Amino acid sequence: MDILKIEIDLREELNIRSDLISVGNIKKERKQQVPDIFLNAFREAYNQYIEYLKGKKFEKDYGAFTVNKQGKAMTYFSYRKKFQEIIQSEIIPMYLASEKPELVLYGRILMENKLSPHIFRHWYTVQLVLSGISEPGVLMYWRGDSSPESSLTYLQNKGELEKQYRKVNNEVFDYLLWASKMNND
């Protein structure tokens, strides 16, 4: 079945845990459509996650997309902590053991600087720019920005983004997905 449109309603904070613990905050209330270039990936990720949840405890009435071992929606703090644990225990050692000097350098950089899930916002924006979006207002819409500064930074550096993107491909993100599954099983 082809999906033609996915729209995420971010107009109101919803309770997604039975214990009423807040999982994070909406920064800009809006309805946000998922760009066409991500529809298939979104569908695949959703289907994989639903398959992963089979037989596991989770609060299905609350609709959380990421859950902890107790089956409750993960808070941003716990998601960030798990993300950083994966970087420390899996990614950095893999990079440092590489025969490619570039990857060793990335490993050293990661040792000195904490990476957060915010990197996915950067990756998302790079994908949008590399897909051909070149208007600041359009990029602002897809990012949910209130001002053009961030969007303009990406658009002004498109050539450098393309060069860097060729160096670091999607294998890192595939690996993070795999590592996340391994740590949550």
Each residue's pLDDT tens digit, 23-49: 988 888 999 999 999 999 899 988 998
Q: What percent of the chain has pLDDT over 90?
A: 36
Identify whether 166 is part of a domain: no
> pLDDT category, 50, cuts 50, 70, 90?
confident
How many Cβ atoms from other residues are within 10 Å of residue 100's Cβ? 10
Place 172 in a pLDDT band, splitting at 50, 70 and 90: low
56 domain-assigned: yes
pLDDT given at position 35: 94
Cβ–Cβ < 8 Å for 102, 167:
yes
In a domain, 52, yes or no: yes
Residue 166 — pLDDT band, cuts 50, 70, 90? low
Higher model confidence: residue 161 or residue 7? 7
Q: What is the mean pLDDT of the chain?
A: 85
Q: Flag whether pLDDT at 175 surpasses 60.
A: no
Residue 92 within any structural domain of the chain: no
Q: What is the mean pLDDT of residues 65-79?
A: 90
- Provide the pLDDT for residue 97: 93
Output the pLDDT for position 180. Answer: 61
Q: What is the pLDDT of residue 79?
A: 92
Give a yes or no: residue 12 inside a domain. yes
Mean pLDDT score, 163-175: 60
Asked if residue 30 belongs to a domain, the reply is yes
Report the number of distinct structural domains present in the chain. Answer: 1
Choose among 45, 32, 44: nearest CA to 5.
Answer: 32
Q: Give the pLDDT score at 21.
A: 94
Q: Which range marks the domain in which residue 69 is found?
A: 1-74
- What is the pTM assigned to this prediction? 0.75
Determine, yes or no, domain membership for 37.
yes
């398959």: which residue's tokens? 51
Q: Please tell me the predicted confidence (pLDDT) of residue 173.
A: 59
Separation between Cα atoms, residue 128 and residue 122, nearest integer Å:
10
Mean per-residue pLDDT, 71-98? 93
Return phi, psi of residue 165, to 5°: -65, -35
Over 70: is that where the pLDDT of 169 sits?
no
Residue 143: CA atoms inside 13 Å, Cβ hemisphere, count?
29
- Asked if residue 24 is part of any domain, the answer here is yes
The first and second tokens of residue 128, run together, are 């949008």
Angle at which helices 158-167 and 149-156 cross, to 10°: 70
